[in-house]
Structure 1
Amino acid sequence: MIDIAVQTHDFDMAALYQKLSRRAAHGAVVTFTGLVREVAGGDLTHLSLEHYPGMTEQALQDIAEQAKARWPVGEIIIVHRVGTLALNEQIVFVGVSSAHRKQAFAAAEFLMDYLKTRAPFWKKEHTTTGERWVEAKKSDEAAASRWQQREVEP
């Protein structure tokens, strides 16, 4: 099962974990939750995230299907928030269940790397001195590109 949501409202990590852990055959559940964090300089007031409805959900679905094709995982849940988010608010949840931990960890890491570089979200930082669009980081691109050189891992 793949469960994708793009939403303005917050999500409940415990409820999402429960959905991931309902199959007895899956002995591993790996989750990642990203929070709005302070930027260098300490002047962030909030973030604005925009997306293109329909295109964004399809891109997330495609990324999740790529993970399922690479690793024997069961459930994948991706929740990404859009709109205005304050410091320390939850912004993204990625969860993966699998029979074994290695596959669950690898799939979750792959999902986050691809979300950061291939999902159509536009992020603007609002600071005490103005606002600026967030550009892609070379480190995020490097993290995502390493998956193109890897074969399916056990």
Structure 2
Amino acid sequence: MQSQPFSIEISEEDFDVGLLHQSLHNTHEGAIVTFTGTVRDLMGDDGEFESTELIIEHYHAMCMKVLSDLCQQALSKWEIGQIKIVHRVGKLARGEQIVFVGVSSSHRKEAFLACDFIMDFLKTSAPFWKQESKNDQSYWVDAKLSDQQQLKRWDN
């Protein structure tokens, strides 16, 4: 039995979605919901240029604290079994995996809601700093307005 119902990994290394999914499987919960985010071809606020790379920086201790608190919030809101979060940092090329969030639960609705909640907060509130680049152009990325608006649905 796990000592805590969530695990968080922040790494420069790629991850295996199949192994992460399998690690959430158990006979007590019948629902597993996952999200995997990848580096897109088109970047910029309106997808106005083709990206050559994405650089993600972070402050490890702060990220671990924020993500742990986020997992605790999800566990207090929904009846869920396990949460797994993997987030990559460093230089990432187009098409590479950035983030994995997986949630197990006895009921699919709880798992979907918790996974959606975690992604909304992770995207807007976790202390990861992203820089998009195209050849000699680059800029730091802020949370999008649409992401901020999505976050408001959890105010209750």
Task: Give the alignment's TM-score, normalised by structure 2.
Answer: 0.92
Contact 1:31 1:96 (8 Å CA) reproduced: yes
Equivalent residues in 2 for 1:7-86 (5 A)?
Answer: 7-21=11-25, 23-38=26-41, 39=43, 40-86=47-93
Aligned residues: 148
Distance in structure 2 (CA, Å) of the matches to 1:69 and 1:148: 15
Give the secondary structure class of the aligned counterpart of 1:117: helix
Alignment RMSD, CA only? 0.9
Give the secondary structure class of the aligned counterpart of 1:54: helix
Q: Is residue 4 from structure 1 mapped to residue 8 from structure 2 by the alignment?
A: yes
Give the drift of 1:42: 3.8
CA displacement 1:29-57 (0-9 Å, x = unmatched): 00000000022234210000000011101
* Unaligned 5+ runs, structure 2: none
Task: Give the alignment's TM-score, normalised by structure 1.
Answer: 0.93
Give the secondary structure class of the aligned counterpart of 2:99: strand
Distance in structure 2 (CA, Å) of the matches to 1:42 and 1:35: 17
Which segments of structure 1 move beyond 2 Å, counting only runs of 4 or more? none
* Unaligned 5+ runs, structure 1: 150-154
The share of aligned pairs that are identical, in percent, is 49
Give the secondary structure class of the aligned counterpart of 1:10: coil
Q: Is residue 143 from structure 1 mapped to residue 146 from structure 2 by the alignment?
A: no
